[in-house]
Amino acid sequence: MSEKKYNVLFLCTGNSARSIMAEAVLGTMGKGRFNVFSAGSMPNGQVNPFAIEKVQALGYPLEKLPSKSWDEYAEPGAPQMDFIITVCDNAAGEVCPVWPGQPVSAHWGFVDPATAQGGDEEKRKVFDKVFRQIMTRAHIFASLPLATLDKAAIQREMQAIGARAPE
């Protein structure tokens, strides 16, 4: 019997950096266990070039990563999500659409690397740090024995991942 493939949606406000990188990281790390998506409450329509650099390094297909609205995942016919993960404090505090199927939700806050100041090297350092933090949390999540845990246990694990102190 094959293992269930889980649908995961990463949410942020602009869907230009953190949620994009999280989609690519879990999509790569998950080794086919997850269908991963990202979206924003107010997408700015453009992916940050430093996020594109990080995603390209993973070999994740860039055509899967346009900046898009979370509304398209709440429409009839959209994939039913198993997990909704907010990655910015703004999105975590917003009123989200009603997601069919009552997915497990969690908040994994990260500093917004898109607001980094300075030259390109300073900005890359901030993106590198946030990218490593996303990788750590995604690795822990991808390692969970989801098929053997009940929904309450999964919720606790997801919240614990989000509560991890950033390294």
Chain segment 30-56, per-residue pLDDT in tens: 888 999 999 998 898 899 999 999 999
Q: What is the pLDDT of residue 63?
A: 84
Q: Count, in order, helices (H) and strands (E) of the chain.
A: 5, 4
> Please, what are the domains in the chain?
6-155 (3.40.50.2300)
pTM of whole model > 0.95?
no
Which tokens sit at 124? 């890359």
Q: What is the pLDDT of residue 21?
A: 96
Q: Catalytic positions, please? A: 12, 88, 96
Alpha helix stretches (DSSP H) within the chain? 18-29, 49-58, 89-93, 120-143, 151-163
Q: What is the pLDDT of residue 93?
A: 56
Residues of the chain with pLDDT under 70: 1-2, 90-96, 98, 166-167
Q: What is the pLDDT of residue 3?
A: 76
Amino acid at 42: M
Average pLDDT, the chain: 89
What single DSSP character describes residue 154? H
Q: What is the pLDDT of residue 1?
A: 45
